[in-house]
Structure 1
Amino acid sequence: MIELDGVSRLYDGVAAVEGLNLRIERGEICVIVGTSGCGKSTTLRLLNRLIDCSSGSIRIDGEDIAAMDVKLLRRRMGYAIQSTGLFPHWTVARNIGVVPQLLKWPAARIEARVRELLELLGLPHADFAHKFPSQLSGGQAQRVGVARALAGDPEILLMDEPFGALDPITRDSLQNELLRIQAQIHKTIVFVTHDIDEALKLASRIVVMDKGRIVQHDTPTRLLEQPANAFVEHLLGQGEQGLKRASLQRVGAHMLALQGPPPACSVGVTDSLRQALSLMLWHRTGELCVRDEQGNPVGLLPIAALLRGPDA
């Protein structure tokens, strides 16, 4: 859906990004990750023409964005940033409805869209529509920022470190919320972060950038198993690749048939192997009962199963 072909951006003759070649497929979450100053946010801003390419081209559905009306282009793209960018003197409902209003949607349709998005993001309309940004917690404000980015039903959602300023618990909650929502709406999402764990959790594919260039573009699993160079390996955390890979694998793919009474300690069938290993270490046990979402025992996870491949 999105193609970058030889894209560079120069500032006073110095390249912020250089020679970017990238294809992002429709409906995937593409996460751009790297250290500060590597060109992640510059790449994102090139996509909605907040800045223009110095050379190369960017195409959406085969159409060069340089030939598009910039206002229409940006209305096709939701944009969520770390500071939320909410208008402080507007209510939550008005903040969310700003793009549909620019698109000249009827008032009833805007109201229905605001209600739909607030409910989707776990913010009951009756409790939050009338509030102002100053009355929201950080996590609530970030949810409203995401709702506003989605309000015009854009094809593409651009997210620039949207959860970077939040505490770990709220951040984890919003990551889960994003994955839940994406399972329903199937947008093409380009997400920028400096946090490799966040990238591994969210991404269909990960773009690793270093000094303005793409050094690897791969699935999370292949990135862990076949890092392109020492920089990627260091970014992934030397010595922690096993734990990070375990965070990508689900318990259900490794469990064995339950025979006899279930063990006292349990893990969820959709939990990660990393969570299972943590439980084993904490409770000093070599096996866990696997339970489904209703709490029914459905399998057994011995520690040896963690070392085998899925369905081994």
Structure 2
Amino acid sequence: MTPTPMIELSHVSRLFDNAVAVDDISLQINSGELCVIVGTSGCGKSTTLRLLNKLISCSSGNIRIDGEDIAGLDAKLLRRRMGYAIQNTGLFPHWSVERNIGVVPTLLGWSPEKIKARVHELLELLSLPYAEFAHKFPSQLSGGQAQRVGVARALAGDPDILLMDEPFGALDPITRDSLQNELLRIQSQINKTIVFVTHDIDEALKLATRIVVMDKGRIVQHDTPANLLDRPVNEFVQSLLGQNERGLKRASLEPVKTHMQALSGDLPEHSVNVDDTLRQAMSLMYWHRTDILCVRDAENHAVGLLPMRALLDSPTA
């Protein structure tokens, strides 16, 4: 079955005065994909994102959303069909969390009862209990909580497309990792088409269904995380991936359960979770100076063994 394209860019360019920010790019993003655009500062990734919801317009080329050319669409109406989450959240400081989340549904003409139910649903989905957070103001939230509210607001109108521009970039590593996991959990439930911009290749590899690598306004490579690591097209992509760490990054894409072996003999002293990655398993082996781990499920039952030789069976570039 042929995937359904939700977003199509055809020979799109954007110039600012005489400077080329986006240079003749063509791209298709299918419905339900989590597409991450990654590259160094100034490569055109955020400009590309803003072209999708007409915050800026194309200098040439065309963009189609769900088969419709956006050139003929009203920009405000188009934006109400898309969620948009940014690094600094953009929350209105004098509005409560509930009012911030409800702004797009209000513009869409939803009833107060429907808006309240949607706010409640999203806060619970993002692990922010309604009774505790709905009536707080942005200044009363931690950075991670505020970012969650920003994501909830982007999802409030139930858009088919969610645009995210460095949404976790200003957060500390622990909060950032937590929100990445939260996004993956939510996406597994709501299956939106997400376009996510980041300069962090590890974030891209963790989140993406497919990755778009940009450099100097052009698309250098567009592929799955595994294929990107296995077959980078040039030295720039290799450098972005971290030349000497590609093996570790590749191991981070594979769960332990794909390489574990049947239980036999005495159980090893140290354990790894069945859903952990091979990279996490390698770290535990190094830390505990062991060449075999017990694999346990969510209920802590032993379900298999992971010897070092099984890790070495993992495919490499």
TM-score normalised by length of structure 2: 0.97
1:186 corresponds in structure 2 to 191
Equivalences for residues 123-142 of structure 1 within 5 A:
123-142=128-147
Q: Deviations over 1:98-150 (max 9, x none)?
A: 00000010100000000000000000001000100000000000000000000
Shift, 1:190, TM fit: 0.1
Give deviations 1:212-246, integer Å, cap 9, x for gaps: 00000000000001001100000000100000000
Deviation at 1:309, TM superposition (A): 3.6
- Counterparts of 1:76-225 in structure 2 under 5 Å? 76-225=81-230
Counterpart check, 1:72 vs 2:82: no
SS, match of residue 309 in structure 2: helix
1:289 counterpart residue number: 294
Q: How does 1:228-307 map to 2 (within 5 A)?
A: 228-307=233-312
Deviation of 1:69 after TM superposition, in Å, equals: 1.6
Whole-angstrom CA distance in 2 between matches of 1:181 and 1:147: 11
Alpha-carbon distance in 2 for matches of 1:130, 1:304: 54
Counterpart residue type for residue 132 of structure 1: F
8 Å CA contact 2:105, 2:157 repeated in 1: yes
Separation in structure 1 between the aligned mates of residue 67 and residue 186 of structure 2, nearest angstrom? 27
Residue aligning to 1:37: 42
Number of the residue aligned with 1:55: 60
**Structure 1 SS opposite 2:180:** helix
Structure 2 distance, partners of 1:222, 1:146, is 29
Helix, strand or coil for the counterpart of 1:232?
A: helix
Number of aligned residue pairs: give it.
310
Q: Which runs of 5+ in 2 are unaligned?
A: 1-5
- Alignment of 1:27 with 2:43, yes or no, is no
Structure 1: tracts of 5 or more residues without a match: none
CA contact (8 A) 2:7 2:30 kept: yes
**Aligned sequence identity (%):** 76
1:189-209 Cα shifts (integer Å, max 9, x gaps): 000000000000000000000
Q: Name the Cα RMSD after superposition.
A: 0.7
TM-score (norm 1): 0.99
Runs of 4+ residues over 3 Å off in structure 1: none
CA contact (8 A) 2:251 2:314 kept: no
